[in-house]
Amino acid sequence: MADDTIWDFVNGFISGKISRSVFWEYARFKHPTHQISFHTVNALRCLTFERSEHIHDGKTER
């Protein structure tokens, strides 16, 4: 997941803080989190740019 939630679960499992069964319960998709990875130039050619949005987070750029 983009917000590193899964990595937190992996760390918890590796460090022994959570069990394997708890890890899988936490890791279940509770909302859309699917990510797609394109590994070839040919795959990237399938994409078409549609739009972008400027997001202002309130922080001042230096």
Q: How confident is the chain (62 residues) per 10-residue block, as mean pLDDT?
A: 74 94 82 76 92 81 61
Query: Residue 17: inside a domain, yes or no?
Result: yes
pLDDT recorded at residue 38: 86
Structural domain boundaries enclosing 16: 5-44
Query: Residue 50: inside a domain, yes or no?
Result: no
Query: Residue 37: inside a domain, yes or no?
Result: yes
Query: Residue 49: inside a domain, yes or no?
Result: no
Contact 27, 6 (CB under 8 A): yes
Give the residue from 2, 21, 25, 23 showing the smallest Cα distance to 11: 23
With 0.75 as the threshold, say if the pTM is over it. no
pLDDT recorded at residue 4: 73
Query: Residue 54: inside a domain, yes or no?
Result: no
Query: Residue 23: inside a domain, yes or no?
Result: yes
The total number of structural domains that make up the chain: 1
